[in-house]
Amino acid sequence: MTTLLLIRHGANDWVHGRLAGRIPGIHLNEEGRQQAQAVAQRLADIPLAAVYASPLDRTMETAEAIIAGRELSIVQVPDVREVDYGEWQGAELKELYKHDLWPVVQHYPSGMRFPGGESLGEAQMRMVRALDGLCAQHGEHDVIAVVSHADLIKLACAYYMGMHMDLFQRLEIGTCSVTAFRFTKMGPRLTAYNDLGSLAHLKPKPPEPPVQEAAQV
User: Per residue of the chain (217 residues), what is the pLDDT tens digit?
Assistant: 799 999 999 999 999 899 999 999 999 999 999 999 999 999 999 999 999 999 999 999 999 999 999 999 999 999 999 999 999 999 999 999 999 999 999 999 999 999 999 999 999 999 999 999 999 999 888 999 999 999 999 999 999 999 999 999 999 999 999 999 999 989 999 999 999 877 777 777 666 666 555 555 4
pLDDT number for residue 217: 47
Packed helices 30-42 and 57-67: angle between N→C axes, nearest 10 degrees? 40
**Residue 209 located in a structural domain:** no
Q: In this structure, are strands 74-76 and 48-53 parallel, antiparallel, or unpaired?
A: parallel
Supply the range of the domain harboring residue 111: 3-200
CA 55 to chain centroid, in Å, comes to: 13
Backbone phi, psi, residue 216, to 5°: -80, 130
**Residue 215 located in a structural domain:** no
Backbone phi, psi, residue 109, to 5°: -60, -25
pTM of the model: 0.91
Structural domain tally of the chain?
Answer: 1
Rounded to an integer, what distance in angstroms lies between the CA atom of residue 37 and that of residue 72? 16
pLDDT number for residue 208: 60
Burial 99-108 (b: 16+ CB within 10 A, else e): eeeeeebeee
Q: Are 128 and 146 in contact (CB under 8 A)?
A: no
For 144, how many CA atoms within 13 A lie in the half-sphere containing its CB?
A: 24
Rounded to an integer, what distance in angstroms lies between the CA atom of residue 211 and that of residue 95? 64
β-strand partners of 181: 4, 190
Give, in degrees to the nearest 5, the angle at Cα 122 between 52 and 148.
Answer: 25
pLDDT number for residue 107: 96
pLDDT number for residue 16: 86
**What CATH code is carried by the domain that includes residue 13?**
3.40.50.1240
pLDDT number for residue 211: 55
